[in-house]
Structure 1
Amino acid sequence: MELKGKVALVTGGGRGLGEGIAKKLAEAGCDVAVADIDLDNAKKVAADIKDMGRKAVAIKVDVTKWEQVKSMVDKTIKELGSLDIAVNNAGVISIKSVEDLSEDDWDHVLDVNAKGVFLCAKAEIPHMKKQNWGRIINTASIAGKAGFPDLAHYSASKFAVVGFTNALAKELAPSTKITVNAICPGIIGTQMWYGDKGLANKWKGENESMDESWQRNQESLIPQGEAQTAEDMGDLAVYFATAPHVTGQAVAVDGGMTL
């Protein structure tokens, strides 16, 4: 199926996974609304997409705020003409044991990662129903398939996204041509893993540098032995966008970690 002429919306599109997904959808022919809480980052990605010959718009949004989410969807349609593919990707993480987690830590991660996906889907569905076609793609995680130490709150939020995705797919399937699927990224060199406060730094061994920890974790945790990329997630998003009979799935792109 051709994606040329389709309009995609990507939240958290200003960097990392969202940027990779937005650009892959643009390569496949989509015009793209790049939504992010950091408008400057969104503008940079939108400019790159325009350089690729596609239309793009940058939108500032806090996905935990209903009015902002509704405005984001309305602006996408006003500026780009429709809304066909929605990638609800915005997410946050912190790395703490349950004992050290504060109530605010828990609420922030669950609000952005789980409530944000719900609010975005709620705003997107009516527009897709009008055209009886749409693709909703949520970003979950392999931490939504198996728990990880020091990530209980993050895992809880991503398990929620997987369950929400499956339930919404079944809700929409009987009466619409809207599919709903989730991407479950594995180990990627973003701030979650490879940053001053990332897992490679937290989980490094005695006398081990962060670079050494990063390399060891790739080799020990991933059967293929190497980290995945944001572009890998974009490839799966393009597949979901073109697959009419794939719905309710949470697919890991993780080099075999969750086999």
Structure 2
Amino acid sequence: MCKFKNKIVFITGAGGGIGKATAMTFAKVGANVVLADVKKEFVEPLAQDIQKLGGKALALALDVTEYQSVKNAVDEAVKTFGTLDIAVNNAGVVGIGSIEEIDEQEWDRVLSVNAKGVFICTKVALEVMKPQKSGAIINTASIAGKMGMAHLSHYVASKFAVIGFTNSIAKEVAETGITVNAICPGIIGTGMWRGEGGIADRWKQPGETEAQSWERNKKTLIPQGVDQSAEDIAEAVVFLASAPHITGQAIAVDGGMTM
């Protein structure tokens, strides 16, 4: 892992969950980490934590759906650290609802962040990486980018888009030395899966509590029978960033769910 010493990693959606775990994992192996989220205050505490551990971190605000916002953030990162070696395009939103419940505004909200955001962040990252003929881009997709799931049609559509886009760009830049891959997290017991209105709640059987639904679905859907953690995903992201001959792949970390 010493190959990450002083490497510059730009992570969107770094304020929590997978983004936060990814930032901490890269920092622990020597990388300088740029933490980007929709509000700077979402990532400032994490930057301070990394600095206390002796690492270097820069907290920035950006809107992944706006090219100039992303461009400004990446320019600031390059101005601070000199270059950009790894881009983890992790920012995303979730949405749950039947086809009757999803309206145009909700469809646009999810697709704009999850699909357009990855497009813009990849485009801007390549503006730095292509001239230097090196770099790694990892886009956060989902197991929902490999299989349909009830009450998640717009979210599923956005993640299928991320995988297809990743495959295409990987082929475009294959001869430049830049790798482009997608990571597909499995079931993590936070966010869209747990709590009132989450998938476990939505998929309850008659007489079941949300907690009972969660345990049943976890054991039914995941061959290993256990959910994944944000740290599990982060370790896979770091692996992809270190693998010069893996590109155009959508790697699932899901306990065998999509095998």
* TM-score between the two structures when normalised by the length of structure 2: 0.97
Question: Alignment identity in percent?
Answer: 54
SS in 1 for 2:35: strand
Cα separation, 2, equivalents of 1:243 and 1:122: 21
Cα separation, 2, equivalents of 1:212 and 1:140: 27
RMSD over aligned Cα atoms: 1.1
SS in 2 for 1:237: helix
Aligned residue identity for 1:135: A
More divergent stretch after superposition (134-143 vs 214-223): 214-223
What's the CA shift for 1:234?
A: 0.7
Aligned residue identity for 1:66: Y
What's the CA shift for 1:130?
A: 2.2
Alignment deviations for residues 60-117 of structure 1 (CA, whole Å, 9 cap, x no partner): 1110011101011111111222210000000001100112110000000000000000
What's the CA shift for 1:210?
A: 1.7
Cα separation, 2, equivalents of 1:8 and 1:214: 34
After TM superposition, list the pairs within 5 Å mapping 1:153-172 onto structure 2. Answer: 153-172=154-173
After TM superposition, list the pairs within 5 Å mapping 1:5-44 onto structure 2. Answer: 5-44=6-45
* Partner of residue 250, structure 2: 250
Cα separation, 1, equivalents of 2:201 and 2:100: 20
What's the CA shift for 1:203?
A: 1.2
* Partner of residue 180, structure 1: 180
* Partner of residue 125, structure 1: 126
After TM superposition, list the pairs within 5 Å mapping 1:114-153 onto structure 2. Answer: 114-153=115-154
SS in 2 for 1:99: coil
Cα separation, 1, equivalents of 2:213 and 2:141: 24
Cα separation, 1, equivalents of 2:121 and 2:39: 17
| Structure 2 unaligned blocks of 5 or more | none
After TM superposition, list the pairs within 5 Å mapping 1:23-102 onto structure 2. Answer: 23-102=24-103
* Partner of residue 218, structure 1: 218
Cα separation, 2, equivalents of 1:213 and 1:25: 35
More divergent stretch after superposition (211-220 vs 163-172): 211-220
Q: How many residues align?
A: 258
* Partner of residue 108, structure 1: 109
SS in 1 for 2:4: coil
Aligned residue identity for 1:89: N
Cα separation, 1, equivalents of 2:92 and 2:237: 16
What's the CA shift for 1:207?
A: 2.5
Structure 1's consecutive aligned runs of 4 or more residues displaced over 6 angstroms after TM superposition are none
Cα separation, 1, equivalents of 2:167 and 2:60: 28
* TM-score between the two structures when normalised by the length of structure 1: 0.97
Alignment deviations for residues 39-66 of structure 1 (CA, whole Å, 9 cap, x no partner): 2221122122212221001111110011
SS in 2 for 1:179: strand
Cα separation, 1, equivalents of 2:187 and 2:140: 14
| Structure 1 unaligned blocks of 5 or more | none
Aligned residue identity for 1:255: G
Aligned residue identity for 1:42: V
What's the CA shift for 1:10?
A: 0.5
Alignment deviations for residues 119-167 of structure 1 (CA, whole Å, 9 cap, x no partner): 0011110211122110000000000001100011001000000000000
* Partner of residue 203, structure 1: 203
What's the CA shift for 1:197?
A: 2.3
Aligned residue identity for 1:111: S
Cα separation, 2, equivalents of 1:185 and 1:93: 13
